[in-house]
Amino acid sequence: MAAHEGKRVGTYTILEPIASGAMGAVYRGVDDAGDSVAIKRLENEGLRERFEIEARLLGGLEHPRVVRVLGHLREGSDDYLVMELVDGRDLNAVLSEEGSPGLPVERALDYIAQACEAVQYVHDQQVIHRDVKPHNLVLDGSGNVILVDFGIARTIDEHASGTRGVGTPLFMAPEVLVGEAVSARSDVFGLAATLWTLIAGKAPSYQDGTVLSDESRGVSAQLEQAIRRGLELHPERRYGSASAFAAALGAELAGEGVPLVASTAGSAERRELLEAVVKTAAGVFDAAAVSLALVDPATQELVYRAAWGAGAAEIVGVRLERGRGLAGSAVESGETVVVSDCRNDERFARQVAQGTGYVPNTMVVVPLERENRVIGALSVLDRRDGGGYGQEDMERAELFGQLAAVAVAANG
């Protein structure tokens, strides 16, 4: 890692290394104004597209308990993710320095309640962290817990048929570790394992039969039961959300943070519907961005009415002439458009995409049809794992499009 110290990356200068993870090394750096940042360098070039896609998506997250992603840069053959540098100690260091062997229960509960706020916010944005653990929860100078280090918890195992988990096994949900489907419940496992660790002074083990309950320390049987439910091996037996886990611990979460969804719909009811369509599509298709455009009956233009993810605020309100772009092509033909390489497709409206700051790699566009007329199009952009959309995604996309068309027309 030393070879990169002193290197200029855009308007930043790399200083000393901080840590190394599954997707790259992390360095301390400074911008031209002298402000400190954290700079992650991608060290596996095979993950470049996924790294870029996640950087764009994470750059839209804005919550007081979630680290800010400031930008994604490419210098020569190297890719970098620039993040806010949280100046403080992670909870693993706090435990090592102050645990006896664990921390006071009320203090541990306060830290986890704050972590639950961060995790619930990212889940509400259809993002899964995948590596919630004491090392990735940093206590800043004001005593606030900040969730850090997105994007390192999973990588592609070229010797296996699927995706393998990479991280800290004691804190990773079993389904992440073996490469099965992840969900919000996967991060609940990390939260529960972290709380256990903060109280007991060591990570939970399924072999030692340790009991946490100790009324003299303030650990009730009910608290232990709540933690153990969060640690269930089968995800369907765990709490379904970070907020449900927090409620079981007796904590109420503050509803803070900026959503990744935007719309121009008039009424609150219609806005809620359109935002739900794009947000749900993002989760169903594991997409980095989704947009919904509707035909303006007066001009026959396509008008983007709602969007979620990277570039959402910029695309909402944009108008396309009839037939223009991939969305216009889907509306004109009434057929689903699946593109594995947008940038080399002659139908792609590159200028419009560049204006939003987001040029996708791959896309599925579904025409929304009601009563034998096309009323709009739903565009799904970039798989978050860096893979391309293909013909195998068409049937599922069309089914989702049928449901979306019914909902939009009924609320029209």
What is the rounded distance in angstroms from the CA atom of residue 273 to the CA atom of residue 316? 15
Query: Helices 394-410 and 268-285: crossing angle, nearest 10°?
Result: 170
Q: Largest Cα–Cα distance of the chain, in whole Å?
A: 72
Angle subtended by helix axes 184-200 and 105-124, to nearest 10: 170
State yes or no: is 157 an active-site residue. Answer: no
**Cα 275 to the chain's mean position, in Å?**
17
Whether 162 contacts 175, CB under 8 Å: no
Amino acid at 320: L
Query: Could you say which of 131, 149, 187, 382 is catalytic?
Result: 131
- SS3 string, 123-189, reads HHCCCCCCCCCHHHEEEECCCCEEECCCCCCEEECCCCCCEEECCCHHHCCHHHHCCCCCCHHHHHH
CB 130 within 8 Å of CB 268: no
Active-site positions read: 131
